[in-house]
Chains A and B, each alone.
Chain A
């Protein structure tokens, strides 16, 4: 009993130490992120004072604005002010929309979330079984086909695939609705509660709108999902190959289990743990891929907001968006680490 208690407290100490190290590393990464966005904001050739007061302002007005913006302070103090503002959720005002950047981002983010989530869902739903099949038929035609699917995914520009998709399924075949999130007819008919149109429409019981939103979603989500499929299936394949060469698989086969059960229950069961990390990473990558996809499909999400702000040199909005995407990225990495610890008992013990 005493022995067990001793062990537990040692494990506890190790856990605490690990957590502290993790928190420290996340904090350092986040600080680095802040430093980068801060420095980018400082090297811009656009004079932020001129941008606020206009180029006809007198020298006094200019000077007053400069002091108001805190630009007369030394850099490290400005950085401190920047950090404080960010932690208060203040990312400055967008020149383009005249709203606080935080409000803007909160408004557009659900659209990106919806797109990336559905795309990841598609990628996992198809990518995992495909990867398993490729591993089982290693070197034969299913494996070769999947290899081609992967090569295509790694080589094709996502925005071009989006355009070709629009051309084929919207322009030529008429199967998909055009760009955007909803037909103009339905625009603004339901209150944004969560901002995720599918959920909002379903909650309001507006099934027509739900259908329309879903139809608009399917093409961009499939195209984004294809890239996540390419990545997830390739990783599933290599994890599965590793498992299938293990002795417990031989044992299971010798015991007379059906090969279906051995592959899909025994081997795949052990693949899920590393796969979680891969899925999380691909989710993060989709947030990035959505910048280009959203531009192609005029999808009013964060990526679209970011590129539109970029073109009008709206620095606060650009840096705010960068910061948010970077933070989500860090958060996803952290989450996948934690899930890994949670799912794999070996990782906990080490």
Chain B
């Protein structure tokens, strides 16, 4: 209550006037309206404390990976056999591994690999799902039947097993792991995009655009796809935790990133041998995986609350 009074009283300061400009119920321009909508969404988002924590975690992950050379106290891949399996100390906060490499530094550099996997899988899988789903939903008929049958087949597979089979065929390695995870991740996106497409397909604005001469490609890319985006973004964000866990699982089995890459799953796998005596080697990277996937889960939940039109009224 008090804050509101303050805002109305001190309208002169630039910050408050920006706030008022953004929340104006009679926006003077398209730009103002658009920014205003984004600002309201942001306000809604920040009300959800857990979602803000999620955003902070993902933000730190980004910072960590960009600033890795500055932040990491040691080089990630240079062995120092005089420092093998050192426990946690002020010199090595998280201890060292079996080759004397600083675990903290390896975790910091490993954030790059995690981001690399997550971003690439999203970039490959989301557009594929979007394309399959919108085309299938828009065209309907035989195309829809065939595409959805293929989607169902992929959905009927347990994801990790399918990824395992693909990696075993393609050979281990981080790129192949990414490809395998992407191949198993697109079907839910196709389902979502199809459902959204079917609900908007017969709307008047689509008919209007068609009457103005828009072809199917333009209709799908210009009118249908933007409407699918918000549900897709939510789903991709929520899936990112799963992607990280799958990638780490593949790394743990020795099928993902290969040594000496500081991939978190592979680090846990190598620490397994010393689990009972040097527990930190396997434990620390696991905490990193947990925190990052928790961040994506929290962020995804928050985004769902803000972006999902179905819950907007509440």
Contacts and interface: CB of A to CB of B under 8 A. Distances in A.
Interface of A: 25, 28-29, 32-33, 36-37, 40-41, 43-45, 151-152, 154-160, 163-164, 166-167, 170-171, 284-285, 287-288, 291-292, 295-296, 306-307, 310-311, 313, 315, 318-319, 321-322, 325-326, 329-330, 333
B156 A326 contact: yes
Contact of A288 (B161, B169, B297): B161
9 contacts: A25-B152, A33-B153, A154-B293, A154-B297, A167-B276, A171-B275, A311-B254, A325-B161, A326-B156
A36 B153 CA distance: 9
Interface stretch (B208-216, B225-233, B283-291): B283-291
B165 A154 contact: no
B177 interface: no
- Contact-size category for B: 35 or more
Given A157-B245, A291-B164, A151 B268 contact: no
B156 A333 contact: yes
Nearest to B245: A157
A160 B165 CA distance: 22
Nearest to B166: A40
Contacts of B166: 40
Contacts of A296: 272
A158 B250 CA distance: 12
Nearest to A326: B157
A288 B214 CA distance: 46
Contacts of A152: 294
A292 B165 contact: no
B157 A157 contact: no
A160 B249 CA distance: 9
Contacts of B156: 29, 32-33, 326, 329-330, 333
Nearest to A26: B156
Contact of A159 (B165, B171, B241, B252): B252
Contacts of A287: 158
B151 to A, nearest CB: 10
A325 B158 contact: yes
A141 B91 CA distance: 41
B248 interface: yes
A287 B164 CA distance: 14
B249 A157 contact: yes
Interface string B284-314: 0010011001100110000000000000000
Given A32-B150, A33-B153, A307 B241 contact: no
Given A40-B169, A329-B158, A163 B268 contact: yes
